[in-house]
Amino acid sequence: MEIVVCIKQVPDTTEIKINPVTGTLIRDGVPSIMNPDDKGGLEMALRMKDEYGAHVTVITMGPPQADLVLREALAMGADDAILLTDRKFAGADTLATSNALAGALRTLKWDLIITGRQAIDGDTAQVGPQIAEHLGIPQISYVANLARKSENEFLVKKETEEGYQMLEVSAPCLLTVLASANKARYMSVPGIVDAYNKEVQLWSAAMIDVDETKLGLKGSPTKVLKAFAKGMKQAGQVYEVEPEEAVGLIISKLQEKFII
């Protein structure tokens, strides 16, 4: 079984502060980490590898520093790593990013493509589904569990707002995975020692199967008009009253605000 996992290096948003004057992110000194949902996806792939002997390739698009998350993935147990890095990829929104990744995936073999549900720096949850659309393969998003039914059939537990759906899917397909699906393993010590002895393949735009006008800033229809820090909500008012009285109170408050 061939599995390709798409991962992203993101700033650790739990450590990010926002400049209150300019509304921009203060990224100085903020560590970069593997996006948590992607790590959940990689763990899912590695469990398939442990159980059935899959070959796991990790791929990321990013600046040369993104090499670090690929090394981390190798130290966790991935077999191969590819870094899509080229000035032509710069400034990409989700569409241009998914075009680049799909372009790379067209040149690879895979039964399963796994991505994280969404990245903590953008929270769009668009790249995985877009890749599946570009490649014309079925997709299941918000995956909480994966089990193999036969050689190329899988049972997938998908999280929804109401609960779970149990789905069956045949390879090839794409899954977007939740960080909460499993507890990702730590890098092993022998894995770490080997991580820098392995090759991270550097791929430029010319090496992938894609129309170059669909890449980078040129291929990005999204325009950011403004970024701003969300204002703090005011503390609410607490009423300690009996339920009967509370109903009337809530209705009158909603009417005050013209909500009902």
Partner 1 sequence: MNFNLTKTQELFRQMIREFADKEVKPLAAEVDEQERFPQETVEKMAKLGLFGIPLEKEYGGAGGDNLMYTIAVEELSRACATTGVILSAHTSLCLSPIAQFGTEEQKRKYLPKLASGEWLGAFGLTEPNAGTDASAQQTTAVLEDEEWVLNGSKIFITNGGKAHVYVIIAMTDKSLGNKGISAFIVEAGTPGFEIGKKELKMGIRGSATTELIFTNCRIPKGNLLGKVGNGFAIAMKTLDGGRIGIAAQALGIAQGAMDETVKYTKERKQFGKAIGKFQNTQFQMADLQTKVQAARLLVRSAAFKKDQGVPYSADAAMAKLFAAETAMEVTTKAVQFHGGYGYTREYPVERMMRDAKITEIYEGTSEVQRMVIAANLYK
Positions touching partner 1 (CB under 8 A) are: 68, 71-72, 75, 186-196
- In the complex with partner 1, the residue whose CB is nearer, 71 or 117, is 71
Minimum gap (Å) between residue 108 Cβ and partner 1:
26
H-helix segments, 121-212: 127-135, 189-195
The DSSP element (H or E) to which 246 belongs, if any, is helix 243-256
- In the complex with partner 1, the residue whose CB is nearer, 67 or 93, is 67
Minimum gap (Å) between residue 27 Cβ and partner 1:
18
Pair type for strands 55-61 and 80-84 = parallel
Q: Label residue 121 left, alpha or beta by phi (over 0 means left) and psi (-120 to 50 means alpha).
A: alpha
Burial of 2 (0-12, 13-18, 19+ CB in 10 A): middle
Minimum gap (Å) between residue 33 Cβ and partner 1:
9
Minimum gap (Å) between residue 75 Cβ and partner 1:
6
Which residues fall within 8 angstroms of residue 124, CB to CB, at 6 or more apart?
94, 118
- In the complex with partner 1, the residue whose CB is nearer, 163 or 190, is 190
- In the complex with partner 1, the residue whose CB is nearer, 12 or 133, is 12
